[in-house]
């Protein structure tokens, strides 16, 4: 297993694997998201309090989960790059940053659209909203920091340090509804025991989350492949690949 992970951490083997898997991941992502949207927008019943306005949840909640998951993944990859000096781990961080920022922005926008009819305001300095906004700034800060340092290696190291420093915000986002009095309700899916959300709403929510995860992996693989082509264009294995293709 360790040999397999070692091979996967090299640009050559990752590029080959990503090339094979990307089309499958893309198709599965599209199918999952289409099914999730159909179940959420058509099949799921009307909520007795929020009526049809709650249906934005099927985009908002998975996007929020993805925004935290991607940042956590980036922090872990950054630590791996710093400790074991695996270049591909830093490439993963760079490639994932704009995707994570996009999911975070979608979370904030859909949350505002959902919040207007529910709370009577587009924005409130709620603990969860504020910490999610800070997460967007962390993504943008990471992108800006890497871009501002001409030396790629130094920029990647600085970005990894920023990721590790900012990871403390992830548990703050998750537990903000428990630590402070917020407008958001407490956990209804991840709590122990039976989830509070009805199964007819839970299934499309999970399907959409699965689809978003596949979409993230698809775009991540595409971006990492492009970055590998940019940095490894003079390598022997890439020239051999071009000749054989």
How far is it, in rounded angstroms, from Cα 100 to Cα 69? Answer: 9
pLDDT, tens digit (0-9, with 9 covering 90-100), for 102-157: 999 999 999 999 988 888 888 888 888 999 999 999 999 999 999 999 999 999 99
pLDDT, tens digit (0-9, with 9 covering 90-100), for 59-110: 999 999 999 999 999 999 999 999 999 999 999 999 999 999 999 999 999 9
How far is it, in rounded angstroms, from Cα 43 to Cα 214? Answer: 23
Q: What is the mean pLDDT of the chain?
A: 89
Q: What local confidence, expressed as pLDDT, does residue 192 receive? A: 44
Global pTM value: 0.92
């Amino acid at each position: 297993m360790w040999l397999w992970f070692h091979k996967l951490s090299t640009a050559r083997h990752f590029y080959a694997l990503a090339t094979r898997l990307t089309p499958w991941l893309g198709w599965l992502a599209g199918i999952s998201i289409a099914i999730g949207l159909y179940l959420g927008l058509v099949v799921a019943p009307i909520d007795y309090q929020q009526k049809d306005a709650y249906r934005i949840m099927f985009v908002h909640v998975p996007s929020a989960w993805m925004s935290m998951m991607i940042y956590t993944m980036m922090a872990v990859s950054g630590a791996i790059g710093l400790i074991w000096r695996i270049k591909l781990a830093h490439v993963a961080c760079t490639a994932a940053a704009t995707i994570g920022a996009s999911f975070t922005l979608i979370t904030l926008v859909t949350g505002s659209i959902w919040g207007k009819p529910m709370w009577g305001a587009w924005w409130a300095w709620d603990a969860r909203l504020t910490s999610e906004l800070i997460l967007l700034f962390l993504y943008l800060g990471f992108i800006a920091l890497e871009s501002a340092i001409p030396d790629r290696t130094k920029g990647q190291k600085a970005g990894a340090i920023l990721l590790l420093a900012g990871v403390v915000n992830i548990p703050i986002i998750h537990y903000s509804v428990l630590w402070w009095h917020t407008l958001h309700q407490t956990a209804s899916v991840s709590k122990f025991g039976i989830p509070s959300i009805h199964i007819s709403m839970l299934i499309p929510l999970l399907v959409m989350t699965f689809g978003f995860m596949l979409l993230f992996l698809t775009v991540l693989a595409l971006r990492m492949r492009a970055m590998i082509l940019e940095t490894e264009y003079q390598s022997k294995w890439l020239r051999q690949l071009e000749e054989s293709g």
